[in-house]
Every structure is written in C-alpha cells, then in structure tokens.
Amino acid sequence: MTPLIDNIVFDVMILTHYHLIWQVNSVIINAMIDVTLLGTAATMPLPERALSSVLLRYDGRTILFDCGEGTQTAARKAKVSLMKTDLIALTHYHGDHIFGLPGLLQTFGCMGRTDPLYICGPEGLKTAMEPIVMLAGPLPYRIFLSRMGEGGLEFGDAVLKGFNVEHRVPCFGYEFTLPRAGKFDPKKADALQVPLHERSVLQHGENITVGTKVITPSMVMGKERKGLKVVISGDTAYSKELITHAKDADLFICDATYGEDVYSEEAKLYGHSTFSDAAKMAKKAKVKRLWLTHFSQTMERPEDYLAYAWGSFPEAVAGEDGKTITLRFEDEEDA
C-alpha cells in the first residue's frame, strides 16, 4: 500500500539540471524526439478535438505542454502514455490549457504514482495550482511547482526554455533544444597520441591528460553540428520574441486561432494569431515545419483555411489531435 502524502508541498523552487538531469552525454547516437499533438482546440472542445495539449518525449523523459480538458482521452486515442510524465510545462492559466489537470493529477494518484511531478509555468503558477491540487484531493506523490532558471531546464543533453509571448495574460512559449556535438576526428586524436581507450572520454565532453598535456574535446572534435529544436508558441499574437526563439526550428507548433485574415484585428485584440500571422512568423524564423493549432470552434475543418498560411509558408499543415512526428538529426532522417 502506497502511503498517502496528505499535504502537497508547494515547493516553489528554481529547477535546474540538478532536479531533472539523468545523464550527461555529449555524443548522441540516433537521438530522436517524439512529439504528439493531443488537443488542438481553443476555448471549447469538439467531439474530435480536445483542448490544448502537446506531448514531447526524449530519451525516456516526458514533458506535457498544457493539459486542457480531454487530454487524457486524447492521449488514449493517440496511443501514448501520460503516466510517466516528468514535467508539465504550462504556457498560461486560461481554462482551455489547464482544466484537464485535476483529472490527470488524480489519475496519476489512482495509478499509484510515487515519483515527484514537476510543474512549471509563467508568473502566477502557485495561485493557479492551489485550487487544482485541492480538487485533485490527497495524492501519493509530491508536486514541485517550479520557476524556470535563466538557463532553462536541462534534460540530459537537451534544454527547455520558456520565454514571453504576446497574450492578454503572462504567457510562455517554449523552446526545446537538443544540441549536437561535432564529429570526432581520429586523425587529430592520432596526432595528439590520444590512447584508443581514452577517446570516448573526450567524446563525452571531458578532458584527459596525455603525459603532461591536457587534451580538451575541442582539440579532437569538429564544429558543432545542427541539432534539433521544437518550439511551442503558447497563446500569442504575432511576436518578435517568438520568431527569435523559433529560429531554424525543426518543428514550430503555433497558435492559429483564426483562419481568415478578416479576423486579424480580433486576433491581435485577444492575443492570438491568424493562419497568416503564424505562417509569417514561420517564414521569418526559417523553420522547417509549421503545425497550426488552437483552432476556434467556428472552423470545422481547419485544413480548408490553409491557403491563408500558404501565401507565406507553403509547407504549413493544420494540426489535428493525435498528429505525431519523430524528429531525428538531419543525416539520420532516413537511417
């Protein structure tokens, strides 16, 4: 029987690598990031469209971005598990992004979770979470409410950063980045007389000593190569900050509440984007893929409005619940 912890500790703390790190390894072989859109609706759920939520999995860790109503059933439909979620990263505290939380927290408890759960978000996290935790009732695990440190959160080699976007309330966009070290150059290692059994130490980012000489990884590794980046916009109007963070992203998931351009003033007023706004940001940021999401319930078939995005970004696609992608390093994509 798992002991119940009656008092959820609101440990407002700065999360650093100390809390979530599990392995430092600067040489990543066949690294992949799985991303699944769980809910793509704004404001109101529809039968086939749950409210906002995105699941990201990397190297055995799971981050859930937002948890709107219907997130649990959307995950079931998409055949992904939420049970091992390490971190819930909230973009903001509007109901369409958090009303799935009391149910999910309770489900974790029913399933006997004892691992701590970390939740982060912009200012106001504690005020938003208190009633949610109260509704969820006594839970057999601890919840840590976490502020994000300046350098973001480290997930092994990857880093998650929150940044401010343009909504009516404080709102974060999130950037998940996986850097990639340069190629190991055996000729340089030979020239420096690095013994074979010590080469993996350098590949793992640590110095070694050969005789009296200190050899650093940069002496035997090539230039850093293009890694992977996933950016999730949160609710936002057109935002320069977002463009900066989305630069060269492999996947950009963006608020696209309104399809037609006639709603551009309304979008700005309520802190949202049109299809065209999202596409313009994607173009400026030179992203590789754009998935539109957070659709108004007035758009029955968001894909019918894609022409509004294609003017600026012809590869734009309309997200849908369950849409999934596995991202790999460029030269490993077809491997």
What residue ranges bind Zn ion (CB under 5 A)? 42, 94, 96, 235
* Distance separating alpha carbons of residues 195 and 226, to the nearest angstrom: 29
Q: E strands within the chain?
A: 13-15, 32-39, 53-58, 61-65, 87-89, 117-120, 143-148, 153-155, 158-164, 172-180, 208-210, 213-215, 225-232, 251-255, 290-293, 317-318, 324-328
Question: Does the annotation count 11 as an active-site position?
Answer: no
Closest contact distance (angstroms) between CB of 269 and Zn ion is 13
Q: How far is CA 34 from CA 59, 121, 148, 200, in A?
A: 10, 22, 23, 27
Shortest distance (Å) from residue 232 CB to Zn ion: 12
Q: Which is nearer to Zn ion, 144 or 263 (CB)?
A: 263
Q: Which residue's structure tokens are 């999995």?
A: 57
Residue found by looking up tokens 């599990």 in the block: 22
3-class SS of residue 146: strand
Q: What SS3 class is residue 208?
A: strand
- Smallest gap, in angstroms, from Cβ of residue 51 to Zn ion? 8
d(CA 153, CA 17): 6
Q: Could you tell me the two tokens for 66?
A: 């937002």
**Which residue type sits at 14?**
I
CB-wise, 96 or 321, nearer to Zn ion? 96
Catalytic residue among 11, 59, 86, 96: 96
CA distance linking residue 76 with residue 87, whole number of Å: 19
Rounded distance between C-alpha atoms, residue 12 and residue 126, angstroms = 8
Burial (CB count within 10 angstroms: exposed 0-12, middle 13-18, buried 19+), residue 9: exposed
Phi-psi region of 192 (alpha: psi -120 to 50; beta: other; left: phi over 0): alpha
Please, what is the minimum distance in Å from the beta carbon of residue 42 to Zn ion?
5
200 burial type by CB count under 10 A (0-12 exposed, 13-18 middle, 19+ buried):
exposed
CB of 242 to Zn ion, least distance (A): 15
C-alpha dihedral sign at 145, 151, 156, 158: positive
Active site residues: 96
